[in-house]
A and B are shown apart, each in its own frame.
Chain A
Amino acid sequence: MATETTGAVSSCVDSHGSAIGMPQLCFEWFPNQIFWLVLTLVVIFLVLSRIALPRIAAVLAERQGTISNDIAAAEALRNKVADAEDAYNKALADARAEAQNIVASAKADIQADLDVAIAKADAEISAKAAESEKAIAEIRAGALASVEEVAKDTAAEIVSALGGKASAKVVGAAVAARLKG
């Protein structure tokens, strides 16, 4: 190549350092250009195919895996939330039913207590009533006895006032006969 050199540097460049024609068509540079180009391409290819591209592929795959894992985890969590909600609702319903039961049983207890108390009160009232009746009967009996006494006394007084003389025995019998009659 060097032997073909004319002018300052080569057949493609004039003595002022300007291009003669198109530098693209300067065939004496071709071997040099091709050599360096092929070297560059080989270096780039080796670096890419050995290091860069597998690494990026791995990173992308890893990211894809992470994303699908996260989505699966989110799905699981959502299911868990749904389960928890179901359990909560069930617990709520159970608690309601239990409360209902407790209210019903409390009502029944209260009713029973009430019934007992009412029965007791009734019994007490009837006992008191009986007692009162007895007392009244006694009083009435007492009153009758007093009436007899008073009648005897009165009769005796009347008899003596009329100038008669009556023994207590006779008067008593007469009053008793009257009272019976």
Chain B
Amino acid sequence: MAEEKGGLVFHPMDQFIVKPLFGDGAIGMFTVTNMTLWLALAAICTIGLMVIGTSGRAVIPGRAQSIAELAYGFVYKMVEDVTGKDGIKYFPYIFTLFIFILFSNFLALIPMSFSPTSHIAVTAILGFGVFFVVTAIGFIKNGVGFLGLFWVASAPLALRPVLALIEVISYFVRPVSHSIRLAGNVMAGHAVLKVFAGFAALTAVAPLSILGVMAIYGLEVLVSAIQAYVFTILTCVYLKDALHPSH
């Protein structure tokens, strides 16, 4: 990606490099890195909003408590609407995913920051985590009946094996699309921002480039919230399939 021509330097992917925070040795499993810092900031923001923000327990909420209650109500209603009453007990897990992705995405929009959700390693853990947990719930709740998810009883008998094959493939593609959608969106947005910013070095196109950065930044703000929402609602949909496998 690196291209050097008369001061015009593009390193759009450098922002995603994981670096040790202290010193510059190799990165072992427990090395504190820039990603550790931004994950910790996401956790601190979560605690700040959800714990410190609600510490007043006011009947008439203040600003922080209002936002916390709004987030709670938003995800709670989503879980209830999509999965039904029996999905409510998984609400804390889904809320954890939502608030983590939301804060990671928004914190990543701070200039010079690091975006954990742009990394496949992160989103794959989230996506495959959802996949394995949901599949396990499906088998525990429904036993072998969970396989009915792949056997479309309403289709003609001759079509059912074909449909079953398609259903199985689509089921196993779910975690891949689930995780790559999030990482792809965040990574692409940040890379495009960096490319536009790189063009600002050319005086002739600098105004256009800055306008472009502003526009893409606005788009990225939207994408941050929407991707958190999409990830969460898809988790709810998968959970609904596990709880009620019949079509």
Interface size bracket, A side: 35 or more
- Determine whether the beta carbon of B27 is less than 8 Å from that of A10: yes
- Known A32-B28, A33-B119, A40-B43; contact A19-B17, beta-carbon cutoff 8 A: yes
A161 contacts the other chain (Cβ, under 8 Å)?
A: no
> Could you list 11 A-B pairs, sorted by A, with CB under 8 Å?
A2-B28, A19-B16, A23-B17, A25-B120, A26-B18, A40-B100, A44-B42, A44-B99, A48-B46, A53-B92, A59-B69
Q: Is the Cβ of A33 less than 8 Å from the Cβ of B121? A: yes
Asked if B33 and A24 make an inter-chain contact with CB atoms under 8 angstroms apart, the answer reads: no
A177 contacts the other chain (CB 8 A): no
> In whole angstroms, how far apart are the Cα atoms of A16 and B9 in the complex?
13
- CB–CB A38/B125 < 8 A: yes
Interfacial residues, chain A to chain B (CB-CB below 8 A): 1-2, 5, 9-10, 12-13, 16-19, 21-26, 28-41, 43-45, 47-49, 51-53, 55-60, 62-63, 66
Taking a contact as CB atoms under 8 Å apart, the answer to whether A59 and B29 are in contact is: no
Task: Enumerate chain B residues within 8 angstroms of A2, measured Cβ to Cβ.
Answer: 25-26, 28
- With both chains docked as a complex, state the minimum distance between the C-beta of A12 and any C-beta of chain B, in angstroms: 7
- Chain B interface, number of residues (Cβ within 8 angstroms): 54
B118 at the interface (CB under 8 A from A): yes
Q: How far is the CB of B3 from chain A (nearest CB, A)?
A: 11
The 8 Å CB contact of A17, one of B14, B16, B43, is B14
Closest to A59 in B: B57
Q: In the complex, what's the smallest C-beta–C-beta distance from A115 to chain B, in angstroms?
A: 76
**Chain B proximity of A26: nearest CB distance (Å):** 7
User: Looking at the complex, which one of A1, A22, A40 makes contact with B39 (CB distance below 8 Å)?
Assistant: A40
- CB of A1 within 8 A of CB of B28, answer yes
Q: Which residues of A contact B2 (CB under 8 A)?
A: 16, 18
B96 lies within 8 A of A18 (CB)? no
The reply to whether B59 and A66 form a contact with Cβ atoms under 8 Å apart is yes
Q: Please, which residue of chain B has its CB at the minimum distance from the CB of A23? A: B16
Q: Which residues of B contact A47 (CB under 8 A)?
A: 43, 46-47, 50-51
| Chain A residues touching B, majority SS | helix
Sample of 4 further A-B pairs with CB below 8 A, known A34-B121, A53-B50, A63-B59:
A32-B27, A36-B39, A44-B43, A60-B73
**B contact residues around A53 at 8 Å (CB):** 50, 72, 91-92, 95
- What are the nearest 8 A-B pairs in CB distance? A52-B50, A2-B26, A23-B16, A49-B92, A33-B121, A40-B39, A19-B13, A31-B29
B116 at the binding interface (Cβ < 8 Å): yes
Binding site for A on B (CB under 8 A): 1-2, 11, 13-14, 16-19, 24-31, 33, 35-36, 39-40, 42-43, 46-47, 50-51, 54, 57-59, 61, 65, 68-69, 72-73, 91-93, 95-96, 99-100, 116, 118-122, 125, 183, 187
Cα separation A41 to B35 with both chains bound (whole Å): 14
| A48 pairs with B96, CB closer than 8 A | yes
Chain B residue at minimal CB-CB distance from A24: B120
Measured in the bound complex, the distance between the Cα atoms of B59 and A44 in whole Å is 25
B51 A30 Cβ-Cβ under 8 A: no
Once bound together, how far apart are the Cα atoms of A133 and B18, in whole Å?
146
Give the complex CA separation of A178 and B51 in angstroms.
146
Closest A residue, CB atoms, query B72? A56
Could you say which residues of chain A place their CB within 8 Å of the CB of B72?
A: 53, 56-57, 60
- Given A25-B120, A59-B54, A59-B59; A35-B30 close (CB under 8 Å): yes
Q: Are A55's CB and B57's CB within 8 A?
A: yes
Q: Which of A5, A33, A34, A60 contacts B26 (CB 8 A)?
A: A5
Residues of A within 8 A of B122 (CB): 33, 37
Contact status B57-A58, CB under 8 Å? yes
Smallest CB–CB gap between A73 and chain B, Å?
15
Q: Which of B18, B40, B58 has the most CB of A within 10 A?
A: B18
